[in-house]
Structure 1
Amino acid sequence: MKKLLLLVLAISELFSLTISLNSAKENNTPYAVLHIQDIEPLDCQIIPQGLEKQVYLCQFKKIVKAPIEAKKMKLVEIDFLEKEKEFFIKIEPKVYSKLIPVKTALYENPEVTNKHEEKSYKHWTILLYENIPFGDAKSIDGIDFPVIYPKEVKPYVGALDLNGAPISYAQSQDIKEYLDLKKLYEQKKYQDVIEDSLKAVKLYPETIFKSEMLLYRIKAIDAILDQEDNRFADNFDRSDVIKEAKEWTRTFSSNENLPEVLMIIAKSYIKMGQKSDANYFLDILISEHDESEFTKKAILLFADSLYNSRQQDRAIKLYKDVLYSAKDLDVAAEAAVRLVDKQVDNGKKEDAREYLLKVLNANEKYLLKDKPASYALADKLANRGLYDIAARVADVLYKDSKKTDDNAEKLARDVAVWYAKANEITPAYEKLQHYLSEYKNGEYESEVQETLDELFFELKETNETKLANYYDELIQKYQNKIGDKAVVEKAKLLLSQKKYKEVLQMQNALLRAADDNNTQINDIVNQAASALTQGNIEENNCLGAVKYIEDYKLEEHSFEANKVFECLIRSSRFIRAKELSEMKITSKDLNEKRVWLENYIISLYHLNQYSKVIEVSDDALKLSQIQKKKPNYESTKDIFFSYMKEKKLDKALEIASLIEKNWVDDFKNSDIFNEIVKEATDTQDDLLLSKYAKKVIDLQNKHKKYVQTPIVEFNYINALKRLKKDKEALSVAKDLLQKKLEPKDMSRAFYYAAEVSLKLGDTKGAKEYFQKCSDVKEDNSWKDICAQNLKLLP
C-alpha cells in the first residue's frame, strides 16, 4: 500500500481538512482510495457525467483565506472553488469510481449495515478503479439486513513489539540495563546515562525498553545543558538534543512519552532563540496533548522567554493559565513559584503572597525539589518585606534539613527572625527559642537573642496590631468609660501610625466619647485633618486640601500660606483667597507685604474687581521697584487686563512694556500683545496694531507655537495694506502660507497674497496665487472671490 498526502489545511484557517490518496493492487489489479476528512461533517454529492463516470462535489460552510492550487494526478483531478462564502472541492476521476461514506469504525458499533441515511459525514472515501479490484463487478439482488455482533465489539490483541510480534515478559538482561539507566538518571549521573544508553541499545537492539533508554539519553543531555557545565560544553549543544529528539519522535511516534520529547524539542528551540520553531512544537503539544503535564511545562518555558523579552503581561497570563489548568500538582506549583518570583519583581507583593500560599497549602514538598532556588526565593521575599511567607518557605526547607547541613543554622536563624519581623508572635517565639537551644554559641546567636528580647515587649502587648485588636474588643464589649477610653486610645494609636483617614472615620465615636476630654478629642481630629491637608498640599491636590480646611474648619495660616492661597485660587475659592490676602498684607515685613499685595491683586481680578486692582497696583509695583524685585507675573498680567477692562489703553500699554522688559521673549506675553492687537483692530489704530501683531508673530515663530495664527496675521496684513506697506504685507502672507491652515484660512491667505501682488504690479504672481486659491479643495467664500478675480485677469 502506498499513501500520498495531498493536502492539509491548517487550524488557523478555522478547520482542519485532510485529503489523502492510497493506492494498491489486488490480484495484479491496480486501484486507489481517495479519503476526504474534516473535524466537522461535510456534504459530498455525485454529479453524473454518463458512461458510468462521475464528478463529485464536497461542500464546506467555511472559507479558506489562502488560495489552493488544483491537483492533477494519474487517476483523478482535484480542484478547489469558492462561491458565496462557501468552499467546494471538485473531484473528477479519470477512471471508474464509487463514493462511499465512512460512518463509524466497524468495531465501535455492534450493528453493521449497508444503508447510509445521513447526507453529511466527517469521512468520505472514493474508490477509483479501471477494473473492479475485488471479484465480480456484478451485484446480486437479495435481502439487505444488518449484521449484528453482540459480543466483543472491540477485538482485543495483546501487547506487540515494533515488529508486530507478541511481547514476552520473560526475565532478560535488558531489563537490568534499563533499571540501571533509570537509577543513574535519578542520581543525576547524566554523563553515565548518555554513554550507557547507547551501549544498551547496541547490545539489545530489539529490546522493548529501547524508547525509554533513548529517552533517558535525551533527558540527560538536556539536563547537562541546563547545568551549563563547561566540562561537557564541547560535547553537546541544543541542536544535538533537537536532532536526537526528532529522530526519537519519528521512531516512536505513538509512544506515551511523546509529549515529554516534544517539550524538550520546544525547550531547546526556545533556548536557541528560534521562537518560530518552538511555536510549531508548542502548537503540536497544545493541540494534540493539551492535558499533558509536559505541555504545561513547555508553556511555562515559553512564558519565561516572553517575560525575558519584555512581554511581561503575556507571560503572566500564561503562568496563570498553567496554574489553574494543570492537573499535576508539581506543574501547578512550578507555575505558582514562577508567578511569585515575577510578581515580587513587579512590586505586586500581595499577588505573590497569594500564589505562594497555594503552593504551601497544596504541595509544599515541591519546594524541596530545588532547595537552593527555593531559598533564593524566600530571601527575595524577605528583602521585599514579605516576612511571613518567606518564613513559611524557610520553615519547609529547615524541616527537611539535617543539623550537619551547611546552611541548616542559617535557615534556623532566618525562620525565627522572619517570623518575628512578620509579627507572628507565637511561631517567632518558638523558633527563636529553638535556635538558641539547638545552636549554642552559634554564628547568629547575638542577633537571635536581640530579636527575642524585642519580641518580649511584643508579648507584653506593646505590639500595635495586638493593641488595635485589643481596643476593638473593648469597644465592642463595653458601652461605658472603658469603651470610651478604648476609642480615644485607638484614635491616638492610629494617629501615631499616621493613619489619619482612619482617625477621621472615628470622629462620631470620638464625639460620643468626648465628655470631659472634648479638647483632647478636637486636638486628635484637628491633627489628623491637618496632616491630611498638608499631605494634599504637598501632593498638589488642591481640591483635597481645601475640602479638609472647609470640612474641619481649619485655619489657613496653619499651613504654608502661599500654597494655601494658590489652592484657594485653583479651587475657585476667590473670596477666601481675598480674605487670606487681606490678613497678610498688614505685615510689617515689606517683602511679605509685597508678595501678599500681588496675591491680593490676583484674588481681586478673579472677583472682577478691576478698579480695585488698579487702585492697589501702584503700591505693589512701587514695592517691587524699591526692593529691586521682579514683580509677580500673574499679578502684573492681571493689572494689564484690568486696565484693558477699564478702557485705559495708555496705562495698559505701560504695563505691557513693563511685562516685556521683565519677561523677555516669554511666550505668555503673546496673550497680552494679542489683546492690544484686538483693541487696535477695533479702533483701526494701524500703527499700534502692526507693532504688536509683529511681536505676537515673532514670539510664535520663536517658540514654534501658533496659538493666535491666522487671525493675528490677517489683522497684521490688513493694517500693512492700509499703511501702504504692500511688500511687508506680501511677506507676512507668504510666511503664513508656510503654516498649516484650515482650507478657508488657506484661501484667504492666497487671496491676500494675490491682492498685494497686484498692487505691486506682479500680475503673474497674483494670477498664480488666485489659481492656488481656486484649487483649494474645500469650497468657501474666499475661494469664490479668487475664482472671480482669476477670470478678470488676462
Structure 2
Amino acid sequence: MRHWIALCLCFPLFALELSIQTGKEEGATFSILHLQNAFPFTCDATNDEFGETRRIDCRIPQATKQTFSPINNAQFSITGVSSPQGYSITILPKAKMKLIPLAFDLSKETETFQGNIRKAKHWSVVGYTQTLPLIVMNPTPESGINFPINIKKDMRPIVGGLDLKGNPIKITRVQDVTDYMEMKKAYEAKRYDRVLDLSTNALKNYPKTVFKNELLLYQIRALHHEENSEKLIEIAKQFLRDYSSDPSVAEVLAYIADAYGKIGQSVDADYFFDRLFDEQADSPFASLGMLYKAEQLEGSGEIKNAVELYKKALETSKDVAVASEAAFKLAQIELNNGNTKKAAQYVDKIASANPNYFKDVRDNSMAMAETFFEKNDPKTAARISESLLNATDKKSPDYEVNLKALGFALAKANNKLEALKRFNEYLDTYKYGQYIEDVRRAKDSLFFDDGDKNTTKEIKKYDELIERYGNDSVGKKALYKKAQLLFKEQKYQAILDMESYLYRLESTEYPETNSMISKSAIGLEKARLKEGKCVEAMAFQKMYKIRLLPEWDEYIFNCELKTTQYAAAKKIAQSHLKSKSIAERQIWLSRMVKTQFGLGEYKEAIKGGEELITLLDVEKNPSLNDIYRTMFDAAQRVSDDEGMIRHIKSVEGAYPNDFKDIERYTQMVSLGLKRKDEGMVQTYGRKVSALQERTKTYTQSPYIEFTLAQSYQNLGKDSAALSVLKTLDKQKLDTEKRARQQYLIGAIEQKLGHKREARDAFNASIKANKNSAWGKLAKDALGLM
C-alpha cells in the first residue's frame, strides 16, 4: 500500500525549482526529489564498487547570488553552493538513491525512448531504504535495437500528485508549505509556543491544506510537551476521528491517554491505553504508553503494578530513550525501597546503552548519584556523575558540580588514581571554585597512610591530625582511624570517652562508628557484670539499649535483682521456664519466684514455689533450698498461717540454726501469740534467744524475751520466765524498756516470795525511768509491800 505526502519547496533563485515528495510502499518510507529548470542542466551520479549511488552532483550554468539552506530528511542531505561558474547542488543519500532523468513531457509528447541522457530540464532522485519503489529498472542489454515507443493510443490524463485518499493534489499557493517547514524547525528547537502559533495560523488560513494531519499532530506534540492536557485531549480526539488510519495514531493514543491521566480521569485514560496496547501493540509508542501508564500507577500508590509496566517497557521497547526512562524509573523505585544493588543494575543498563540520557534528567540524575553515594555505593554514583560530566560543556556551571561529585565518588570507591586525576583537574580549572576547599581536603585525605604499627605512635599521629584539621574530612578520618585502633586494642572506655565526637561522623562514610560505640559499651557492660558492679552495668545497658546473648542472662538477672529491677528480671526468667533441662528450669523457676516476690506478686510466687518444690522432690538441688524461705515470706505476706507453719519446718530442715532466719522465727512467735499457741511461742522464742546468744547479736530483743517470759508465766513457769528476763541484764536497753524488765522481775520475785529481791527490782525500775508506766507500777508495788 502506498501513501503520499507532497512537499513542494520553491526557490526563486533563477528558474530552478526544487520539490520533495514522500510516501510509503509496503511499510517502507521513500522520498522523490524533483529538480526542474527553465534550461537543460547536467546531473551526474557517482557509484561505488557495488553499483550503489553514493553522490549526485547537479550543475546549473547560470550564476546567482541567492542560495537555499541545507535540506535534510529521512532519505537525503541536500546542499547548494553558488560560484561564478554557476550553481552546484550536491545530494547525499541516507540509505540508497537513484537518479532518473525526465526527458519527456507526456502531456505534450507521444513518443519516448531510453537513451544516455546527459542534460535535462527535469531530474528526479528517488531516495529509499532497500527496494526501489514505484518502478522497476531493467538493465539495458548489451546488444539490441533501441526503438522509440509510441504511446499515442495509450494516452491517459495527467493528474499529478495524489493525496492520502487518492485525490489529485492541487497546490495553488505554497505558504502552507512554508509554515509547515517553519513549524517543524520550531519543534526541533523546542519552541513549542511557536509551533502552536504556526500550526494554528496555517489551519486557519488554509483549512483544506494537505498538511492538516501533520499540523494537528505537531500541535498535539507541542501540547504534550507543555502539559496542556485539556487542549491536547480536544485536538487528539479530532485527529483520531478524522485520521483513524494515519501512521501516527499510536503516538496520539499514547499522548491522549497520558493527558487524561494527568487530569485525574483514569477511566478515560485506561480506555485509550487499552486501544494503544491492543490496536498498536507493535508500535514503539506502545512502550511509551506503558511508561505513561506506569507513572500514573506509581502516582496513585500502586507501586507493584507500576514496576511491572516499567519492566515490560524496558524489555519490549526498541527506542533507547524509552528504555532508558523505564530503567531510570525502576532505579528510583528500587532506591526508595532500599534495594540499592538492584537499582545499580538499572543504572548500569543506562550508562552502557545511553549515557547521555542522564543529562536529559539532569536534576534527578544528580540526586540519584548523591543517594547512591550516601547509601555507600560510590561506584554507581561515579558512573552517573561521569556520564553527566561527559555530556556537559566545560563552560557550563554544571561541569564544576559534576567534576567535584565524580572525584568524591571515585575517592570513596577507593579508586585513588582516578580520583586524584579528577581532583587535580578541578584544582587546575577552578582556582577560585565553589568547592575548592572541599576538594583540597579530599585530595589531602585521599592517600591516608596507616602509619606505624606501634599503637602509641599511631594514636599520637591521629591526635595531631585531629588537632590540625579539626572537623573537616581529614580530621574526621583521623578520628575514625583512632577509634578503630582503640577498639582493636579493646580500650573500650577510651572509645566511649570520645563518643560525642564519633557520633558527629557520617554513618555512610564511616560505617563502623556506631558499631564500635555499641560494641565498646557491650564490652564494658560484660566486664562490669563479671565484676559484680551492677549499677554501672545496668546504666550501660539502659543508655546503649544493649541486648546480650542468653549466656549472659544469669549475670544480668542477678544485677537486676540486686538493683531491684524486678520487672526486667522477671522477663529474663520467663524466657527460660520452658527449658527441657529440669535443672535449668529449677534454677530459673527459683529466680522467677524471687522476682514475683519482689514485685509483690505473692500469690504467683507461692504458685511458682509449689511447682519448684515439686521439681526438687524429683531431682534434689540443695542450692535452691532458699525457696522455702521465700515461700514462708510469701505466706506471711498473704496471712497464710498454715503456709507459714508448713514452710518454717522446711526452712529449719534446710538451714538449721541459721541466723538469717531469726526474723522468720520471730514471726512464728507472733503467729503463736495470735493463735494463743504457747507451745509455738516458746519453741520459736527459745530458737530466737539461742541464735542471739550464739551470735551475740540481739536484733529481736527485748521483744522476744518479754514475749517468751509472758508465755512461761501463762503456763505457771515463773522461774523460767525469771531466767529469761534476767538475760536482759547484760543488754543495753532504753530507760523505759529497762524499767519494764525490772518491774516484771520484781513482780515474779514477789510472786515467788522473794521480797528482798522483789524490792530491789522495783527500786531498779523506778531508778531506770520513774516517769514511765512501769516505773510508776513499781512505785505502787513498793507501797503495797
What TM-score results when the alignment is normalised by the length of structure 2? 0.43
Query: TM-score w.r.t. structure 1 length?
Result: 0.42
* Structure having the higher Rg: 2
